[in-house]
Amino acid sequence: MPAFHDIGEYYKHVKNIFARSGCSDDWHLIKVRADHGRRGVVFSGGPLRFKKDEAIFEFREAVIIDDVGAVERPMYFYKYERVDENGHCFFFRYDRAPGSAKPLIHEECHLHVNQEEPRFKTHETCFEEIFGFIAAHFYEVFPERLECQR
């Protein structure tokens, strides 16, 4: 598991995972806003389109790199949306929203599936895990074992 020295290294890591997958040519839309050397936001600067089916992936992660190079993500969202062959829209979105958390109604880590409500309580996740799931299940691309960099 790599240790990151700063937000720039983590940003390059995310961009490289996306680019190497071959699922999309939109890796250049992945952006970073560094608030400090070890903290910032890594995000899609627009919808990242998949070549095979025009599905989109959008994300935003607030990132803090700690003293040993581990990644903390105090806030995030990862959204995948596609239209199937029958014209039906499907989406899911993982959110971590600590400022909005209300037990049983709006859990800090939650999942939306095809609608805003209900919000399903879920585990803490990361770019690597969600993108790896999308690439493997929808595009039969199996990047190297992707695990959350913590």
CA 52 to chain centre: 19
pLDDT in tens, 47-58: 999 999 999 999
Q: What percent of the chain has pLDDT over 90?
A: 71
Confidence of residue 141 (pLDDT cuts 50, 70, 90): confident
pLDDT at 71 over 70: yes
Beta bridge partners of 30: 44
Confidence of residue 107 (pLDDT cuts 50, 70, 90): confident
Extract the tokens encoding 116: 């805003």
What is the pLDDT averaged over residues 76-82? 96
pLDDT at 83: 87
Residues 6+ apart with CB under 8 A from 138: 50, 53, 55, 80, 82
pLDDT at 1: 52
pLDDT at 144: 65
pLDDT at 94 over 60: yes
pLDDT at 149: 60
CA 24 to chain centre: 15
Extract the tokens encoding 101: 């958390």
pTM: 0.90
pLDDT at 40: 97
- Residue 65 CA to residue 81 CA, distance in Å, equals 29
What is the pLDDT averaged over residues 126-132? 94
Confidence of residue 143 (pLDDT cuts 50, 70, 90): low
> In 10 A of CB 119, how many CB atoms?
21
Confidence of residue 66 (pLDDT cuts 50, 70, 90): very high
